[in-house]
Amino acid sequence: MAKITYIAHDGSSRTLEVKAGLTVMEGAVKNNVPGIDADCGGACACATCHVYVDEAWMDKVGAASAMEESMLDFAEGVKPNSRLSCQIKVTDALDGLVVTTPESQH
Amino acid sequence: MSEPGVVIVGAGHAGGSAAAFLRQYGFTGPLSLIGEEPLAPYQRPPLSKAWLKGEADAEALMLRPDSFYSENDIVLRLGVRAERIDRDARTVILSGGEAVPYATLILATGARARRIPLPGLDLGGVLALRTAADADQLKSALGPGRRLAVIGGGYIGLEAAASARALGAEAVVIEREPRVLARVACEALSTFFQDYHRKHGVHFILDAGVEGIVGGDGRAAAVKLAGGDLVEADAFLVGVGAVPNQELAVDAGLHCSDGIVVDLEARTSDPAIFAIGDCTRRPMPLYGARMHRLESVPNALEQAKQAASALTGRPAPAGEVPWFWSDQYDLKLQIAGLPFDAVQTVIRGDIAAAKFAVFHLDAEHRLQAVEAVNAPPEFMAGRLLIGQRKAVAPDKLRDMSISMKEVAA
């Protein structure tokens, strides 16, 4: 279990207990957190689960794969702390993680 | 009888997402979701991929946990069939005879596996792949020493063949056309997939008519080909496309034409009734006045958003470029757009290295579609370019020294 805080573009936030083994994307979708669409269900095929990882957590979530990098290259509003949330597996070490969703997923 | 609100018929990806979006967008009225299957909304794409290979469990398959529906005041009624719509009374009549009143009805009835008139289709061991129950049956029939015969070389058939190989089973694919994916992919891609599957031990019988499935004691034993040859197997999968579940709508007098006809708000010819997902025929604003049937999760989500937006007074969501994906072995196939009016194809990358894309351009060099294998930048940039409707020089697309970012800039 890890507590994950999802902050929406408008500043509203939700903190949820997400089971280890799920992805940050699944934690959002299963709880109807707005702003994470995840059209492909986690296949790293669509870039509609784009999030900004809180700077303090960048090391802990690890680096993006080459596949993820090339998907992110074309997502809207990409920043150095952009990740696809379907590629971040939740572990106990991510307890407290904070991510922010972008204005749009296109 | 409760106050009429929004009633959604069909608890699949489209129906489940529409319910979630309605609540997300602030709809507070009564909301019920009626499904024929015994399961809450789940994801179908993994049924032929990760789930079939045993890489995803039942919980991962579920779109949302069961608690989601009670927490969001969504009445989930499963294992119930909607039999009829009474448009005058604004009710849906269920299999038990109960009439459920609606203010707005959303049809999300999906599609079903196409059945071809073939002798032996009812024998034991002959399967289709559409539902979790279908996938359960197929999974239990596969394993080392088993042999899967697939009738139909489409995505479902090829994904199932790849999964069968991963489970140690033999796989043979029988296709009527001279190439697999004949209806849905270009020739270069068909050839590539055939070769790749062959390398992984899948057998193909192409250009082959099927006379029927034969067996004994009620169990299928072999596919009988038009020439009389028998293809023996332990399990049989018929994957020859899907047909929209439009009967409810047809019987209710809604405008249907191989799919329930809707507008860009996902509204049917009755303003109180919407339809979303695989069961619909919808406008394709990127491709002129065309109407099309899209069988995909992105389309189900897009139309769920259209309907939920219209019902909550939100501005219509931005139009999307249709897209599809398929995973087979270590191949990630991503397709954006549809090759309507395409007169030219441009191949970028290295087919032999399994990293390439096929671009389809119309006469004005506008990108209509891209099929990308292990080539996410080509897919992502292609999707942008298709949406922009501007001309792209074929030489630029072909030139690997120009990055896709530059091409799309």
B380 → chain A, closest CA residue: A74
The length of chain A in residues reads 106
Classify residue B282 as exposed, middle or buried by CB count within 10 Å of its CB (0-12, 13-18, 19+).
buried
Classify residue B66 as exposed, middle or buried by CB count within 10 Å of its CB (0-12, 13-18, 19+).
exposed
* pLDDT mean over B297-315: 96
What residue segments make up the domains of chain A, in order of their start?
2-105
Residue B38 lies in a domain: yes
Chain B contact set for A43 (CB, 8 A): 45, 325, 327, 332
Q: How far apart are CA B319 and CA B103, in angstroms?
A: 27
pLDDT band at A57 (very low <50, low <70, confident <90, very high): very high
pLDDT at B3 over 80: no
Chain B contact set for A84 (CB, 8 A): none
Architecture field, domain A2-105: Roll (3.10)
The whole-number pLDDT of residue B188 equals 92
The whole-number pLDDT of residue B1 equals 45
The whole-number pLDDT of residue B317 equals 92
Read off the tokens for B283: 């406008």
Residue B120 lies in a domain: yes
Q: Is B261 found in the same domain as B228? A: no
Q: Which of B214, B238, B262 is the last residue of a domain?
A: B238
pTM: 0.94
Q: How far apart are CA B93 and CA B84, in angstroms?
A: 5
Q: Is B256 found in the same domain as B228? A: no
Residue B321 lies in a domain: no
Provide the pairing of β-strand B230-232 with B219-225. antiparallel
pLDDT band at B254 (very low <50, low <70, confident <90, very high): very high
Q: Is B74 found in the same domain as B48? A: yes
Q: Is B212 found in the same domain as B122? A: yes
Strand order in A82-84's β-sheet?
A13-18, A2-7, A98-100, A50-53, A82-84
Helices B155-166, B187-199: axis angle to 10 degrees equals: 20
Chain A contact set for B301 (CB, 8 A): 37, 39
Beta bridge partners of B104: B6
Provide the pairing of β-strand B5-9 with A82-84. unpaired
Taking the CA of residue A32 and the nearest CA in chain B, the distance in Å comes to 7
On whether any CB of chain B is under 8 Å from the CB of A7, the answer is no
Chain B contact set for A74 (CB, 8 A): 377, 380-381, 383-384, 404-405, 408
Q: Is B229 found in the same domain as B254? A: no
On whether any CB of chain B is under 8 Å from the CB of A37, the answer is yes
Stronger pLDDT, A37 or B121, i.e. the higher one:
B121
Q: Which of B191, B222, B238 is the last residue of a domain?
A: B238
Of A31, A43, A74, the CB nearest to B380: A74
Taking the CA of residue B227 and the nearest CA in chain A, the distance in Å comes to 41
Read off the tokens for B364: 């004005």
Task: Specify the 3-state DSSP secondary structure of B213.
Answer: strand
Q: How far apart are CA B173 and CA B184, in angstroms?
A: 16
**Which of A6, A46, A49 is the best residue to mutate to test the B interface, defined by the most B CB atoms within 10 Å of its own CB?**
A46
pLDDT at B102 over 60: yes
DSSP state of A62: -
| Residue B218: other Cβ atoms inside 10 A | 9
Taking the CA of residue A17 and the nearest CA in chain B, the distance in Å comes to 13
Of A30, A44, A73, the CB nearest to B64: A30
The torsion of the CA quartet A20, A23, A27, A28, rounded to 10 degrees, works out to 160
B383 → chain A, closest CA residue: A74
Query: Do B9 and B15 contact (CB within 8 A), yes or no?
Result: yes
Element (DSSP H or E) covering residue B195: helix B187-199
The torsion of the CA quartet B110, B43, B66, A93, rounded to 10 degrees, works out to -160
Centroid of chain to Cα A16:
13
Taking the CA of residue A77 and the nearest CA in chain B, the distance in Å comes to 14
The whole-number pLDDT of residue B146 equals 96
CB pair distance less than 8 Å for A70 and B377: yes
**CATH number of B190's domain:** 3.50.50.60
Q: How far apart are CA B326 and CA A43, in angstroms?
A: 9
Q: Is B256 found in the same domain as B362? A: no
Chain A contact set for B44 (CB, 8 A): none
Domain limits for position B199: 115-238
pLDDT in tens, A69-84: 988 988 888 999 999 9
pLDDT at B357 over 50: yes
pLDDT at B2 over 60: no
| Distance, first Cα to last Cα, chain A | 30
Number of domains forming the structure of chain B: 3
pLDDT at A42 over 90: no
Taking the CA of residue A53 and the nearest CA in chain B, the distance in Å comes to 22
Taking the CA of residue B103 and the nearest CA in chain A, the distance in Å comes to 24
Instruction: Catalogue the long-range contacts made by B132-138 (C-beta closer than 8 Å, 24 or more residues apart).
Output: B132/B37, B132/B39, B132/B42, B132/B47, B132/B58, B132/B61, B133/B37, B134/B47, B135/B47, B135/B48, B135/B51, B135/B52, B138/B52, B138/B235, B138/B237
Task: Specify the 3-state DSSP secondary structure of A105.
Answer: coil
Q: Is B120 found in the same domain as B108? A: no
pLDDT at B248 over 80: yes
Q: Cα angle vertex A61, ends A57, A63, to 5°?
A: 115
Query: Do A90 and A19 contact (CB within 8 A), yes or no?
Result: yes
Q: Is B270 found in the same domain as B166? A: no
Chain B contact set for A75 (CB, 8 A): 380
CB pair distance less than 8 Å for B63 and A47: no
Q: Is B228 found in the same domain as B127? A: yes
**CATH number of B378's domain:** 3.30.390.30
Is 0.95 exceeded by the ipTM? no
CB pair distance less than 8 Å for B64 and A39: no
On whether any CB of chain B is under 8 Å from the CB of A18, the answer is no
| Residue B287: other Cβ atoms inside 10 A | 20
The whole-number pLDDT of residue B124 equals 94
Residues in CB range of B350: below 8 A, 6 or more apart:
B356
CB pair distance less than 8 Å for B20 and A32: yes
Chain A contact set for B318 (CB, 8 A): 106
Q: Which of B238, B263, B297 is the last residue of a domain?
A: B238
DSSP alpha helix (H) spans, B80-186: 132-141, 155-166
Provide the pairing of β-strand B126-127 with B235-238. parallel
* pLDDT mean over A28-40: 86
On whether any CB of chain B is under 8 Å from the CB of A76, the answer is no
CB pair distance less than 8 Å for A74 and B45: no
Residue B317 lies in a domain: no
DSSP of A74-98: TSTT--TTEEEGGG-B--GGGTT-E
